[in-house]
Structure 1
């Protein structure tokens, strides 16, 4: 494309315009330029919107959590958790953008190696993990700690998608038993921690990928029957599941957290009490993490909560619309699985906050406070952006290709 075609006759580009065109122009072959035109910019903007909402939400919840965790020789400033979250966002955004630039083959290989690494860590977590509130879900690293299951979720999706996609080249491969056995091993490790919420996520992702890959619906129906039987067995023999179910259905045991979450989210009515005007949040445990959605309800109103839910829905719908004409089996399974994982985690968190699901201890993606969670989510979203990248000149007319200089 010539300078006249780009800027118009009689116009000379400024140095800044020329530099931007050199990096991001359609006719340029720089890595950044190709990425800019191939990336789903609408999807990227929706994710950035969620991150911005998250910063505002953590700022609203931070005074309540700072007051709750201050005591003895430890005193937190009111906006401590906001400033920490801002730091984690500054670390996570480059991770997301860098991963989204990876070629598909390299992204797949890196994800498979990461899946193997974090699977081993997940299995070892009940042995070497740090106990917090009666559960060993974290591994300590120096002065910090991280949750292997958070990093494993997107990588698990890629690994399962790759194995299931192999059936397209060889129908005799036993991909369903292989992926099923791997999933059950991970589920057993999660239940040992115990972490019932993440166990449900991994099992649901496996079944979702089976359905998308074209597995017989009779087999999927049989899995549904086995899931019901497994739930009954978990209630009878797995104390964590029984306590959660009894607390949800019969209000037995300690239901303080879910009761306060419901009281907080409804305290602001439709329009909310205004930024900083919430009072119920000061009685809410984990206001900046698991129950930040309730703080949004109190300070910004139920309408704002619906708006947040619509942003999550828009991200999932955007991905599935993008995949309607996808021909690559692996990219289809990987991107769809990542979108389902993202949407399912958001749905479970919001469902817990409005008391239509038992407490799971699960964060709201890109909105809840958390360093390792933010980095893991950014890595997963980077993979999703990478697998939904499209060459803008494919399926274009020869005239458009010639005009663009390609």
Structure 2
């Protein structure tokens, strides 16, 4: 844990892969992710047992599946974090193309599992949600295109990425999946802003989003029902939001005790979208604050490292990855405490879900790879040299 005390140590070119990886990786962020995954397994023991009982499955059915898929996610995260930025870019582009094709074919071959939104492919033993894997790939592609557009005689990367954004948002809205649509729009906007977008264009883009939201509210009953439920001052205690809100209130600062919570018996999505309500009820505000601190540590440390990065692709793509990771966690917890409309979004590494946890592992693996220390001068060196001339 040398870096935690003395800071990052540049890699030596002659070092083997594993020592070089350990020397250059952000160990604080890596540790936070493993802790989050451990907390997810702990909460799965509490939240998923009632669901397994109701479905006539073995008590620890969902816990065992989370351990299996989570183990795959950890392996993917560590493996990807060892890659060079060029390899990350290639992986991101290939992953994006595969996920984008899967997204396009969803209306033909996808299923809704009775939830009213065609978002998944049924594989028999598991399900696959393309939008989860599309997010990290799109951040890599967007960062690459916008970085290329800054080169002399470079391609019109901003316009190409914007066209891709519109197409992706259209397919996601058709499902409908407005939560993932909003997250991808946010990630693209952050990269565009960091890449030097004019404020006039940003204001125009925000206006277009507001207009599109109004249009969807008028034309989509699903979207309107979510917004109306959020704006309604009267909260129905028999809804998922009602159960979650009551559980958070009951938990107080220190919780009602391990295994003593009741919300897991009432909420069908207690192990996924509303896992934070289970944490708040049984372990109290203390655990919730610890979870928030872990996410914040990963995002803030990553952004600080990226601020010192000279390579435009690494800086842009890494910022997009860090922001969608942090904002997804914020949306999930914001919905549970009724600060945001219901979105149907998981809490990365904590909520149950095969696609979501593996995609989170890929996202963070790419982020860790891009934020590794490299033997280069920092971006500030360029600025100071220019001023000194």
TM-score > 0.5, shorter chain as reference: yes
Do 1:246 and 1:253's aligned partners in 2 also have CA atoms closer than 8 Å? Answer: no
| Aligned length, in residue pairs | 366
Do 1:290 and 1:368's aligned partners in 2 also have CA atoms closer than 8 Å? Answer: yes
Match of 1:88 among 63, 69, 73: 69
Summarize deviations over 1:218-250 as a string: whole Å, max 9, x none: 110111111111111111112221111111112
> 1:80 offset after TM fit, Å?
2.2
- Which position in structure 2 is the counterpart of 1:34? 20
TM-score (norm 2): 0.89
Do 2:70 and 2:349's aligned partners in 1 also have CA atoms closer than 8 Å? Answer: no
Please give the secondary structure, in 1, of the residue aligned with 2:253. Answer: coil
Please give the secondary structure, in 2, of the residue aligned with 1:130. Answer: coil
1:340 aligns with 2:323: yes
- Which position in structure 2 is the counterpart of 1:13? none
Give the distance between the partners of 2:276 and 2:149, measured in 1 at CA: 41
Give the distance between the partners of 1:125 and 1:380, measured in 2 at CA: 22
> 1:120 offset after TM fit, Å?
1.1
Match of 2:50 among 57, 64, 70: 64
State how 1:299-378 maps to structure 2 within 5 Å.
299-378=282-361
Give the distance between the partners of 2:286 and 2:279, measured in 1 at CA: 10
Give the distance between the partners of 1:103 and 1:156, measured in 2 at CA: 18
Summarize deviations over 1:41-65 as a string: whole Å, max 9, x none: 1111111111111111111212232
Do 1:264 and 1:281's aligned partners in 2 also have CA atoms closer than 8 Å? Answer: no
1:388 aligns with 2:371: yes
State how 1:7-406 maps to structure 2 within 5 Å.
29-68=15-54, 70=55, 75-132=56-113, 133-170=115-152, 173-250=155-232, 256-391=239-374
Give the distance between the partners of 2:40 and 2:314, measured in 1 at CA: 29
> 1:260 offset after TM fit, Å?
1.1
Give the distance between the partners of 2:307 and 2:272, measured in 1 at CA: 35
Give the distance between the partners of 1:124 and 1:252, measured in 2 at CA: 40
Do 1:64 and 1:287's aligned partners in 2 also have CA atoms closer than 8 Å? Answer: no
Gap regions ≥5 residues in structure 1? 1-24, 396-406
Give the distance between the partners of 2:205 and 2:325, measured in 1 at CA: 23
Q: For residues 110 and 27 of structure 1, do their structure 2 counterparts lie closer, same or farther at Cα, with a shift above 3 Å needed?
A: closer
Give the distance between the partners of 2:22 and 2:87, measured in 1 at CA: 19
Give the distance between the partners of 2:124 and 2:327, measured in 1 at CA: 32
Give the distance between the partners of 2:234 and 2:222, measured in 1 at CA: 13
Do 1:67 and 1:76's aligned partners in 2 also have CA atoms closer than 8 Å? Answer: yes
CA RMSD of aligned residues (A): 2.0
Runs of 4+ in 1 over 4 A off after TM superposition: 25-28, 251-255, 392-395
Do 1:269 and 1:301's aligned partners in 2 also have CA atoms closer than 8 Å? Answer: yes
> 1:172 offset after TM fit, Å?
6.7
Do 1:261 and 1:291's aligned partners in 2 also have CA atoms closer than 8 Å? Answer: yes
Give the distance between the partners of 1:172 and 1:35, measured in 2 at CA: 32
Do 2:126 and 2:354's aligned partners in 1 also have CA atoms closer than 8 Å? Answer: no
- Which position in structure 1 is the counterpart of 2:384? none
> 1:168 offset after TM fit, Å?
1.8
